[in-house]
Structure 1
Amino acid sequence: MRSLIVLARLLDYPTLALQQAADEMRAVIEAESHLPWVRRQSLMQWIERIAESDLLDLQADYVALFDRGRATSLLLFEHVHGESRDRGQAMVDLLAQYRAAGFELDARELPDYLPLFLEYLSTRPEEVIAQQLGDIAHILARLTARLEEREADQALATATLLALIGAEDEITEHQKQVREEKRDDTPAALDAVWEEEAVRFSASSDQDCAVRSAAGQRRARQRQNEKERAEPVRIIDPATSVGRESHSH
């Protein structure tokens, strides 16, 4: 399902290559028969906004949305297991699932990173896609409610995933709870997390800690931004590739 690759790209860190692929992504969404026209139109309008926006502004907004606090994390198991040992085992199990399907990945992202998970699903039969999206529907619904609360376009992507399996109604169940939540991306909340992590720090070095964190990975990608600008985003038939140089199956 090529639309899953587009949604994965839309949820990933924005690059010039993403902007340059706007026409191709719009064509994929327009042809997606599993979605009603109104939803396809909303996604195509978002793609147009991405293409026309200043790239640095897009990147700054993305970092502010996903790298400050954990409420909007795109790491699926963080919403379920937090930092417990259960998360590690869940990662191992998911990685084994990828490999059993012939989907190999490098160390760039953790296995539960949502855009990566969507790339994997794009290679699976429709019944598997429906079952596995259903398994994370509660996470997607809570994430969508939080993104909507912050008026983020990325809510269109997560809501679309729920629409693909007819589970949009689950978003409503989480909206009231999200409105009552304390934001974890305020300066005070971020300071409290920093103090807690400083006490629990156990990485072998600052560099190791930075590489393991989502924010650290984002900063690493920013340092390679110029290189990425020269590489086109490819939206390719899932039967042959997921559209990323770093992943193959």
Structure 2
Amino acid sequence: MKTYQVLGSLLGYPDAALIQALPELAQALEGEALLPRDERARLLTFMAELQNADLLELQERYVGLFDRGRAVSLHLFEHVHGESRDRGQAMVDLKRLYASKGLRLVGDELPDYLPAFLEYLSQCEPGEARALLQETAHVLAVVHHRLGRRSSPYATVFSALLTLAGANPLGADVRDEAPDESSPQALDAAWAEEPVTFGPEAVSTSAVVPFCGRPQRVAR
């Protein structure tokens, strides 16, 4: 399903290749029409903003948003396991899940990187993809809330993900006591946040959650 790939691409580091691919991504999003029209319209607006912005400014904004704190990390196990040993086993389980469909990680990213997880979901049947995405809905809702609190346009992508998961982005029950990381003084406190859990209850270490790095099909 191309929509999952589009959303994963939009959450990736904004480089020249991404900007060049935006028209194709927009066409895929509209052609598949997996999301409601209003969600697609908001994503198209976000793509237009990316297209028209200065690339260096986009990159600085991305790094400042996603790479300097835990609150909106794109590594989903970061929100669940933090630095505990459970995270390692969860990574192993997730890599095995990808391997079951002939996918492997490339580069130095980890298996719980959200864009990579979305790449995997794009290879799944619609019902399976939706069910797996639902496993992450609670974390997605928290990150969506935190991005919205910062007025970040990336909240649009998380709103679309919650819609695909069958959750109402505006009606999600989010209990978030995380500090605002908008200032350097808040960074230490942000990294000290307690992990959140998927769903109403904590899940086991083998729960299905995202990985890191964009997976690719293994050459046969």
TM-score bucket (shorter structure): 0.7 to 0.9
- What are the within-5 Å matches in structure 2 for residues 5-84 of structure 1? 5-84=5-84
Aligned to 1:112: 112
For the residues of structure 1 that align with 2:170 and 2:131, how far apart are their CA atoms? 16
How far apart in 2 are the matches of 1:132 and 1:58?
A: 30
Mapping for residues 77-226 of structure 1, pairs under 5 Å: 77-169=77-169, 172-174=172-174, 177-178=175-176, 180-184=177-181, 186-191=183-188
C-alpha change, 1:76 and 1:170, in structure 2 (3 Å) is farther
Q: Which shifted more, 25-34 or 108-117?
A: 25-34
Superposition TM-score, scaled by structure 2 size = 0.83
Cα deviation for residue 14 of structure 1 reads 0.1
- Cα root mean square deviation, aligned: 2.1
Identity of matched residues, %: 46
Unaligned runs of 5+ in 1: 197-243
Q: Deviations over 1:77-120 (max 9, x none)?
A: 01000000001110010011111111112242100000011011
- Equivalent-residue separation in structure 2 for 1:30 and 1:78 (angstroms): 32
Cα contact 1:138–1:170 (8 A) shared by 2 = no
Contact 2:8–2:119 (CA<8 Å) still a contact in 1? yes
Tell me how far apart the structure 1 counterparts of residues 148 and 217 of structure 2 sit (CA, whole Å): 33
- Measured after TM superposition, the shift of residue 193 of structure 1 is 7.7
Q: CA deviation at 1:183?
A: 2.1
Could you say if the C-alpha distance between residues 86 and 69 of structure 1 is closer, same or farther in structure 2, counting changes exceeding 3 Å?
A: same
Aligned AA for 1:138? Answer: H
1:3 matched to 2:3? The reply is: yes
- 3-state SS of the aligned residue for 1:172? coil
Deviation digits for residues 166-199 of structure 1, max 9, x if unmatched?
A: 212575311xx33x431245322335689x9xxx
Deviations 1:184-229 (A, max 9, x none): 45322335689x9xxxxxxxxxxxxxxxxxxxxxxxxxxxxxxxxx
| Partners of 1:118 and 1:170 in 2: CA distance | 22
- Matched-pair contact (CA < 8 Å) for 1:8–1:116: yes
Question: Which stretch shifts more, 71-80 or 101-110?
Answer: 101-110
- Runs of at least 4 residues of structure 1 off by over 4 A? 191-194
Distance, in Å, in 1 between the alignment partners of 2:89 and 2:35 is 35
The letter for the 2-side match of 1:85 is: R
Report the AA paired with residue 57 of structure 1: E
Which 5+ residue runs of structure 2 have no aligned equivalent? 193-213
Q: Deviations over 1:5-24 (max 9, x none)?
A: 11111001000111111110
C-alpha distance after superposition, 1:27-78 (max 9, x if no partner) = 1111232211111111111111111110001001001101111000000101
Q: Which amino acid aligns with 1:186?
A: S
- CA–CA separation in structure 1 for the residues paired with 2:184 and 2:158: 26
* Higher helix fraction (1 or 2): 1
Equivalent AA in structure 2 for residue 140 of structure 1: L
Name 1:235's counterpart in structure 2: none
What SS does the corresponding residue of 1:21 show, helix, strand or coil? helix
Q: TM-score, normalised by structure 1?
A: 0.74
